[in-house]
Amino acid sequence: MAVATAPRRGMTKTERRNQILGLLFISPWLIGFLLFALFPLLASLYYSMTNYDFIRDPQFIGLTNYVRLFTIDPDFWTVMYNTVYYVGFGVPLGIAVAFLIANLLNSDIRGRTFFRSIIYIPSIVPAVCAAMVWLFILNVQYGAINGILKTMGWATIPFLSSPDLAKPSLIMIYVWAQGTAVVIFLAALQDVPRSLYDAALVDGANAWARFWNVTVPMCTPVILFNFIMGIITAFQDFTLPFVLTGGGPMKSTEFYVVSLYRNAFVQFSIGKASAMAWILFLIILVFSVILFRSSARWVYYGGEK
């Protein structure tokens, strides 16, 4: 990977040519990075320390937005609680279910491709379409699930209209859309060397022991990867809660980015929204670092690296 990065005194003609060509080839990214990443990043940091509504000039107010969010803001802690609840239950549950399904798919079965497709398709269907059909399925009056419950003479379940059930309902839909994780796990399972299972078998390990002592350790790098990706994306989930519940009932599904969007583009509280964006950035960063740090204790890298 490391080629010609060592600084040298004079450059040969080819080296000089390569230096110019290399920079020329990557220049679109470099310009894009400066214009659409670095500059907005710094601008956002600045806005987060101002009072700004798109119309009047931004007024610098230091860390006031952050202090207000943490202390007197009526919604911030509700939003934080909702999001942490969603991420905290949804991501581990999603990983557990995805890992289980991947193991089922990896056993000696026919129709693996067929089952894998069925599990995977929900994760690529447009979130709006998925939200629309779930909205309909979970409806208290006409939804399919409550229709069945009514037929049985049982009580209906207000999935999306009860503040207690709205979050678990969204978590259920989140788990349903974890096909990507299943595919990643399946690929990892198929990479586990057979010799390890053979050795375990010789040692007299039963299926359960083989699962915990061979399969799980060999998949820990991928579990870590899915964990980090899961946390990053779940913290940023927007379309599903926005379309399905609009944050309700009683703000029970007002998740972080839904609230951020509203603050920025409905309330025009740009300062507050920018502060929220930076807090989110730091939360994701801290979680990722903690997971990476902890990984030394539970992730097995096969003796390499």
Partner 1 sequence: MTSASQTVGSKPQLQQHTRTGSLSATKWITRFLVYAMLILLGITWIFPLYWMIISALKDDPQIYTVPPVLIPNPAFWNNFYDGWMRYDFNRAAFNSVFLYSVPVTIFTLVSSMVVAYGFAKIPWRGRDALFWVCIATMMLPWQVTMVPLFIIFKNLGWINTYLPFVVPSLFGSAYFIFLLRQFFLSIPEELSDAARIDGASEIGILWRIIVPLSKPAIAVVLLFRFLWSWNDYLGPLIYINSEAMQPLALAIYRLRTLATSMGTTSMAYPHLMAVSTLVALPIILIFIFAQRTFIEGISTTGLKG
CB 165 within 8 A of CB 159: yes
Phi, psi of 51 (to 5 degrees): -105, 115
From the list 282, 299, 175, 163, the residue with the least C-alpha distance to 234 is 175
Residues 159 to 188 in contact with partner 1, rule: CB under 8 A: 176-177, 179-180, 183-184, 186-188
Q: Is 287 in the site for partner 1 (CB under 8 A)?
A: no
Residue in the block written with tokens 């939003």: 79
Rounded to the nearest whole angstrom, what is the least distance from the CB of residue 58 to partner 1 in the complex?
Answer: 10
H/E segment holding residue 123: none
Stretch that binds partner 1, among 70-78, 159-167, 230-238, 295-303 (CB under 8 A): 230-238
Q: Is 25 in the site for partner 1 (CB under 8 A)?
A: yes
Q: Is 197 in the site for partner 1 (CB under 8 A)?
A: yes
Smaller CB separation from partner 1, 110 or 297: 110
**Judged by CB under 8 A, how many residues of this single chain contact partner 1?**
112
Within 13 Å and on the Cβ side, how many CA atoms surround 106?
20
Q: Which two structure tokens, joined as six digits, stand for 227?
A: 């964990």
Query: In the set 207, 209, 286, 290, which binds partner 1 (CB under 8 A)?
Result: 207
Q: Is 208 in the site for partner 1 (CB under 8 A)?
A: no
Smaller CB separation from partner 1, 252 or 279: 279
Stretch that binds partner 1, among 68-76, 160-168, 191-199, 290-298 (CB under 8 A): 191-199
From the list 217, 214, 213, 177, the residue with the least C-alpha distance to 97 is 177
Q: CA 128, CA 238: separation in Å to the nearest integer? A: 11
Q: CA 72, CA 83: separation in Å to the nearest integer? A: 19
Q: Is 96 in the site for partner 1 (CB under 8 A)?
A: no
Q: Is 209 in the site for partner 1 (CB under 8 A)?
A: no
Q: Is 4 in the site for partner 1 (CB under 8 A)?
A: yes
Stretch that binds partner 1, among 74-82, 84-92, 221-229, 291-299 (CB under 8 A): 221-229
* Spatial CB neighbours of 265, under 8 Å, sequence gap ≥ 6: none
CB 58 within 8 A of CB 47: yes
Q: CA 126, CA 136: separation in Å to the nearest integer? A: 16
Rounded to the nearest whole angstrom, what is the least distance from the CB of residue 218 to partner 1 in the complex?
Answer: 12
Q: Is 84 in the site for partner 1 (CB under 8 A)?
A: no
Specify the 3-state DSSP secondary structure of 215. helix
Smaller CB separation from partner 1, 167 or 175: 175
Residues 108 to 137 in contact with partner 1, rule: CB under 8 A: 108-109, 112-113, 115-130, 132-137
Rounded to the nearest whole angstrom, what is the least distance from the CB of residue 69 to partner 1 in the complex?
Answer: 15
Q: Is 216 in the site for partner 1 (CB under 8 A)?
A: no
CB 82 within 8 A of CB 252: yes
Q: Is 286 in the site for partner 1 (CB under 8 A)?
A: no
